[in-house]
Amino acid sequence: MDKTFQEEFTQIIKFEPPLYKQRHQFVKDLVEKYKPKKVADLGCADCSLLWMLKFCSCIEVLAGLDICANVMKEKMHTLSPLPVDYLQPSERSLTVTLHHGSVAHKDPCMLGFDLVTCIELIEHLDESELKKFPEVVFGFMAPSIVVISTPNSEFNPLLSRVMSYRHPDHKFEWSQAQFRNWALEAARCYGYSVEFTGVGHPPTGMEKVGFCTQIGVFLRKYPQTGELVQSEKPTETVYKTLLFKTVKSKENTWKKINKNKTPQHNLKNPPTSKKECRILNCMNQNSLHAKNICNSVLDGIHGGLNSSFSFFNSLD
Ligand code: SAH
């Protein structure tokens, strides 16, 4: 690369929107294209991608996994249902779960997902974790779609302040060929096809460098083979659950019981059945104690690693 040309760009490359937002938008677009119902985000960190996906109406189950409980706890309260989710329930149910554990381990709670996202995760894995990763994600979890993003080391010379790796915790950063070889091998072993793309365009005239963030989208070639595969899968739980939240759909909540009354109307008229009582109680609690919800979440945050709490997780 011409040094003067390179120096000129190291001064000016700034992505707009920022690269992390472009990566998350990429996942959102994928969700809108394939409409998965169950999505798991591995290496979910501060849950910001999960928060964004919460608003995709096709998703009914969202799960996050990270090896660092503290980073997940920072903003996990943003995943809690809002009072409006109960007062104006949508057409779909949404269950959000956060797990503390490693992608190097298999846990049955990670089975049954349609889409698994691994955004800027693999470069944080050490050699032994990276070796186990394809078997856990493609072999065990075996979702229809896997999306993996990782830095493209060929872009690094264009970034100011990047001397070696982009982050001190990165164990490696791959060139386009290295990522390609690894991804093609994983896809071949576990029956996936893979398409390569990325976000963060290189400057005009430097297209060979590739995207700043390289992305592989893996699509499972064959339908899952059902019982035999399932029976071989371990059932032992290894992850710790940090958070579990469910908002039932409109159909499953008050509308089902009382078609003609608004929630306000219901509050003025005493409930007649035990079930109605529980639902209205739940709604009241939500509208009157929104603050308490926040406080409970904060309690949970301060409650330590083993804490597992849930609100309104079943009305039926
Ligand atoms: N996916 C996030 C951030 C990724 S940073 C985003 O899109 O912004 C990488 C994350 O992977 C960190 O939160 C780190 O704690 C987590 N991580 C590292 N090793 C892991 C492992 N073995 N299993 C699960 N998560 C891991």
Which positions of the chain have pLDDT values less than 70? 1-12, 162, 225-235, 250-316
Measured in angstroms, how far is the CA atom of residue 37 from the centroid of ligand 1? Answer: 23
The answer, yes or no, to whether any atom of ligand 1 lies below 6 A from the CB of 104, is: yes
The answer, yes or no, to whether any atom of ligand 1 lies below 6 A from the CB of 72, is: no
Per-residue model confidence (pLDDT) at position 86: 78
The answer, yes or no, to whether any atom of ligand 1 lies below 6 A from the CB of 64, is: no
Question: Which atom of ligand 1 is nearest to 102's Cα?
Answer: 23
Nearest-CA residue for ligand 1 atom 14 is 43
- Of 88, 80, 87, 171, which Cα lies nearest the Cα of 131? 171
Nearest-CA residue for ligand 1 atom 9 is 121
The answer, yes or no, to whether any atom of ligand 1 lies below 6 A from the CB of 68, is: yes
Question: Which atom of ligand 1 is nearest to 45's Cα?
Answer: 13
Measured in angstroms, how far is the CA atom of residue 121 from the centroid of ligand 1? Answer: 5
pLDDT tens-digit series, residues 20-67? 999 999 999 999 999 999 999 999 999 999 999 999 999 999 999 999
The answer, yes or no, to whether any atom of ligand 1 lies below 6 A from the CB of 45, is: yes
Nearest-CA residue for ligand 1 atom 13 is 45
Per-residue model confidence (pLDDT) at position 161: 72
- Of 207, 170, 213, which Cα lies nearest the Cα of 23? 213
Per-residue model confidence (pLDDT) at position 162: 66
Structural contact between residues 198 and 174, judged by C-beta atoms closer than 8 angstroms: no
- Per DSSP, what are the bridge partners of residue 42? 65
The answer, yes or no, to whether any atom of ligand 1 lies below 6 A from the CB of 129, is: yes
Per-residue model confidence (pLDDT) at position 160: 76
- What pTM was computed for the model? 0.79
The answer, yes or no, to whether any atom of ligand 1 lies below 6 A from the CB of 76, is: no
Nearest-CA residue for ligand 1 atom 10 is 43
Q: Which of 28, 50, 67, 103 to mutate to test the pocket of ligand 1 (most atoms within 8 A of CB)?
A: 67
Measured in angstroms, how far is the CA atom of residue 71 from the centroid of ligand 1? Answer: 9
- Of 87, 20, 30, which Cα lies nearest the Cα of 58? 30
> DSSP letters of the chain?
--HHHHHHHHHH---SS-HHHHHHHHHHHHHHHH--SEEEEET-TTSHHHHHHTT-TT--EEEEEES-HHHHHHHGGGGSPPHHHHHS--SS-EEEEEEES-TTS--GGG-S-SEEEEET-GGGS-HHHHHHHHIIIIIII--SEEEEEEEBGGGGGGSTT-SS-SSTT-S--B-HHHHHHHHHHHHHHHTEEEEEEEESPPPTT-GGG--SEEEEEEEESS---THHHHHHS-----SEEEEEEEE--GGGTHHHH-TT--HHHHHHSPP-SHHHHHHHHHHHHHHHTHHHHHHHHHHHHHT-TT---EES----
Per-residue model confidence (pLDDT) at position 251: 65
The answer, yes or no, to whether any atom of ligand 1 lies below 6 A from the CB of 20, is: yes
Measured in angstroms, how far is the CA atom of residue 54 from the centroid of ligand 1? Answer: 19
Measured in angstroms, how far is the CA atom of residue 14 from the centroid of ligand 1? Answer: 24
Per-residue model confidence (pLDDT) at position 11: 52
